[in-house]
Chains A and B, each alone.
Chain A
Amino acid sequence: NAGVTQTPKFQVLKTGQSMTLQCAQDMNHNSMYWYRQDPGMGLRLIYYSASEGTTDKGEVPNGYNVSRLNKREFSLRLESAAPSQTSVYFCASSNYNEQFFGPGTRLTVL
């Protein structure tokens, strides 16, 4: 049981480049999330998917898009990366209460 997996672990992009962060969970959870973590800001929700086929904006969605490919997978896309998107990105999935987090992707945009 791998839980929540994320790829890649680290990524460096130049301003304007695009990339997709991948997330998968094997716990048969309906809900999945993307957060960003910045020093002194806690975890801020980017996008949320309550179930396969649905997605909703969170607190900081600008500059991001998501795809809920199936029940297991939820990807986050940066179409044109900006230095302000330098952060650590976490994917999570949940049952009714507890959210389970992946190990994170550390992204640097130069």
Chain B
Amino acid sequence: QQQVKQSPQSLIVQKGGISIINCAYENTAFDYFPWYQQFPGKGPALLIAIRPDVSEKKEGRFTISFNKSAKQFSLHIMDSQPGDSATYFCAARTDVREYGNKLVFGAGTILRVKS
């Protein structure tokens, strides 16, 4: 049972286009929502993260949009580049004071940016 549902499974975008990956959750106790980026043969690395008290966070070409009422959040990659080709995971964390710093991950999205 996946607590965080991620879509699409794979995505092909032209260079310069916008990549959009969506995630949905049910557990309203989640208090931290990171996105991880993973290149082939490497471990995942934190890309950007948001807390539920803000609706948007932008870092360079990467933006998280967060809709608390719909229990959805998404990653937007503007001006997508071939170097962005990777697997992207959304994740969520419950109250760290009660459950520790444990993350629940989505299934992942394989992004390919065509040059």
Enumerate chain A interface residues (CB-CB to B < 8 A): 4, 31, 33, 40-45, 48, 50, 56, 58-59, 90, 92, 94, 96-104
Contact = CB atoms under 8 A, between A and B. Distances in A.
Interface in B50-109: 89, 96, 100-108
Contacts of B46: 98-100
A43 B100 contact: no
Main secondary structure of the interface of A (DSSP, over half): strand
B89 A56 contact: no
Contacts of A41: 107
Given A101-B45, A102-B43, A104-B43, A42 B105 contact: yes
Contacts of B103: 43, 45, 99
Give the residue among A33, A59, A98, A99 with the most B Cβ atoms within 10 A: A99
